[in-house]
Structure 1
Amino acid sequence: MSLFSHERSYRDARVLLTGGCSGLGLELTKLFAADGARVLVGDVHEQAPEGVLPAGVEYRTLDIRSDEQWEEARNWMEANWGGIDVLVNNAGIAAGGRLDVEGMDNWKRIVDINLLGAVRGIRTFVPLMKAQRSGQIINTASLAGLVHAPAMASYNAVKAGIVAISETARWELAPYRISVSAICPSFFRTNLHHSLEGKDVQMEETAVHLITKAPRGAAQVAATAYKKVKQGKFIVLTDPDGQIAYFGKRYSPLVYKALMLQAGRRVGSGKTPVPPIIDKLQSLGAKH
């Protein structure tokens, strides 16, 4: 449900989007630009890869772990565009592994990037939005923030954190006419798997397979997400797999529990835990 009744227009909107040079971020950048928005992409490259960003899109180096670079991005937005209308916290990495295998360095890395990166963005730009009494925050979470499969503890934790922060911000910022959305896609084809560097190599090989062989690409996920964030939707489920898993957890908890226990046993035997869960929840959905 949206707290605001109208579908917003992004023509001339001032947008900052992190992680916009590839994957979902790039596809969202294309959609904002096509709608006439003014878009600043922040990413870790010194310069945007040649020919990647749409014409007219601005670029700045923005490592979302850096308070100083967030401050510089805010200064640029104020100096050049006089403020911000839409903040898209999209940049992130993939991680995962069994609880007793994944290393603490990997935990710290994904928390600093996927969770605290978004926190830094919100802390940086909410004062501007409050002063304007308008704005929108779009956080890229994941189905993993809603449905917590085995062997994905660190990724589940940070994405659940993004959902929790998004809900908190939704209520806290509504009086200032600031809307919040959390995009929660299931697996889709992207380059996210290149960021994997943990100790649980076996489970990471599974993650690579699930990402590279997913039935949907980033453009398809972005198109669905974009339509829903324009409408101000809060939890944005982008695909049938995610809807079935999410609502199966909520409305068929005993079945969900049985499937997760089965998935845990599969992890213990070194097999992928995720596809059997989705397949069976899909069967459940078809019967109801």
Structure 2
Amino acid sequence: MGKSATPSTLAGDLPVAAVHVLPMPSPGPALRDYARGELEAALDALAQTGDDLHEGVHRARKGLRRVRATLALGDGILGPGVGLVDREIKHLNTGLSLLRDAHALVETLARLHKRSRKGATRELLAQARADAVVAREATAGAEVSMDPAMGQRRGLIEVLAAALPALDWERLTPSAARMALADSDERSQRARGIALGKGGDSDWHRWRRRARRASQQRRALEAVGVAVPATAPEVFDKRTTERLGEAQDLTLLLDHCGKGSPFSKTERQALRAYAEPALARLRKRITTARR
């Protein structure tokens, strides 16, 4: 009986077919559709009228930020048009900030009133909220008179939605998208370190903004099926998120105690006396917890 051929003998006698590793499909087209969906949602949100307008503006601005975060995943890859689209979305979002800030102040005062236990403080916050409601309605009236039914803004969103397919989404690879997310995480961590190192108001705001951008990018990639690492708990856990939100409430209130404030001089003094030490205590708790 002859010897059976060994695998090595066969490998030497027979030609071996080359193994081609197919590249992973680009997540770009799916991200394009995701971004377009967010623009369409913003378009619908800005169609709200009356009291619903304020919540619509909030939803629209959130959607516009998600689109910018998605575009940033392909920075330098999607082609020269991405800069123009991003700038227009940023300009549009900034243009909605007066409306959003006016409504956010009302919401903030309601939350602070709910959390407060002192009678005098609750009375102060209730009066401040009433003043903020009057200021919000005045702001809404002025904005709607300049752009009835948000027609100009909604028209711009339609143009931007139509421009998205012209970007070079096919060039965006899964690895490039993950690298962009890693860069966002790194920027968030650097901002965190600066804020916790006795940073000022702008440093704390930068940390919150950059952490939000990274979270939005992670959300977009997960929505289109790209596997990404979870956020490290020590970077931005749920409790830290809640405390930063509370700190943002106090910062927003203090921002409205200066020029152009809807509050009287006496109210501004009382609100600062309440908010400044509360913000200092809260930031100290965040800093101590994250060390």
- TM superposition score category, shorter chain reference: under 0.3
Give the structure with the higher percent strand: 1
- Normalising by the residue count of structure 2, what TM-score does the alignment of the two structures yield? 0.26
* Structure with the higher fraction of residues in helix conformation: 2
Structure exhibiting the larger radius of gyration computed from Cα positions: 2
